[in-house]
Amino acid sequence: MADFDLSTAEIKWNSEGLVPAIVQDATSGEVLMLAWVNASALELTQAQGLATYWSRSREELWTKGATSGHLQRVVRISLDCDGDTLLYQVAQEGAACHTGERTCFTGRSDRP
Amino acid sequence: MADFDLSTAEIKWNSEGLVPAIVQDATSGEVLMLAWVNASALELTQAQGLATYWSRSREELWTKGATSGHLQRVVRISLDCDGDTLLYQVAQEGAACHTGERTCFTGRSDRP
């Protein structure tokens, strides 16, 4: 049973009632994706321990992996210094990216 | 000399001409902060190799560390699968957070 206690009142929601959540693999440190969260999504995430987001395109809540099985079990939730960005550290089952890649950030990468 | 070649045309800028940039320590994997980038900021970052952002509150470009000395030398820039989020992997000099903490995400952290 998850037992998070971050209050939605502590968060500076944007004009759409959302904040970005950076999603990081709790073990490897790899950044997996970024998604958007509203107060309901955060409350569900904290209650269930499974990362849940607000889909801006579909305009609905979605629990990551509910259909694909690629669940994200949330280990830690952190809020940044100015209260407008969340960091979810998760145990990722399978691929984080809908393309089947482990992370959404493999598509392009430039080096000096 | 930096030599990145990510085209600003590849990016799906939001209605304000911005995308979020997740900033990660290239060595430790620690997520340091999130900031916002417009096309000019990305071009400057790629030309100079120093992370440069758009300040939504001050409405101006800012090179991280220009006044504090806490520069971020960019090692890699990645774009996510749907082209609307950047990941900057950086060598951070000093503290990433204006509070003096190494990361902006130390303020609050909840565990199950």
Percent of chain B surpassing pLDDT 70: 92
CB contact, 8 Å: A67 with chain B? Answer: no
- Which chain B residues are Cβ-neighbours of A34 within 8 angstroms? 20, 22, 80, 85
For residue range A23-79, list pLDDT tens digits in order.
999 999 999 999 999 999 999 999 999 999 999 999 999 999 999 999 999 999 999
User: What is the reported pLDDT for A2?
Assistant: 58
User: Residue B19 is which amino acid?
Assistant: V
CB contact, 8 Å: B7 with chain A? Answer: no
Q: Angle at the Cα of A85 (from B65 to B62), degrees rounded to 5?
A: 25
Q: Angle at the Cα of B24 (from B104 to A15), degrees rounded to 5?
A: 55
Contact B44, B109 (CB under 8 A): no
Confidence tier at B109 by pLDDT (50, 70, 90): low
Average pLDDT over residues B101-112: 74
Confidence tier at A1 by pLDDT (50, 70, 90): very low
First to last CA, chain B: 45
| ipTM here | 0.93
CA distance, residue B40 to nearest chain A CA (Å): 18
Q: Which helix (H) or strand (E) holds B109?
A: strand B108-110
User: What is the reported pLDDT for B101?
Assistant: 93
For residue range B78-97, list pLDDT tens digits in order.
999 999 999 999 999 999 99
Dihedral angle computed from the Cα positions of residues A18, A77, A87 and A30, in that order, rounded to the nearest 10 degrees: -140
First to last CA, chain A: 45
DSSP A75: E
User: What is the reported pLDDT for B5?
Assistant: 84
DSSP B48: H
Residue B109: CB atoms within 10 Å? 13
DSSP labels, chain A? -------GGGS---TTS-EEEEEEETTT--EEEEEEE-HHHHHHHHHHSB-EEEETTTTEEEETTTTTS--EEEEEEEE-TTSS-EEEEEEE-S-SSTTS-SSTT-SEEE--
Radius of gyration of chain B (CA): 14
Contact B34, A33 (CB under 8 A): no
- Which chain B residues are Cβ-neighbours of A56 within 8 angstroms? none
- What domains are there in chain B, each with its CATH number? 18-97 (3.10.20.810)
CB contact, 8 Å: A62 with chain B? Answer: no
Confidence tier at B4 by pLDDT (50, 70, 90): confident
- Which chain B residues are Cβ-neighbours of A20 within 8 angstroms? 20, 34
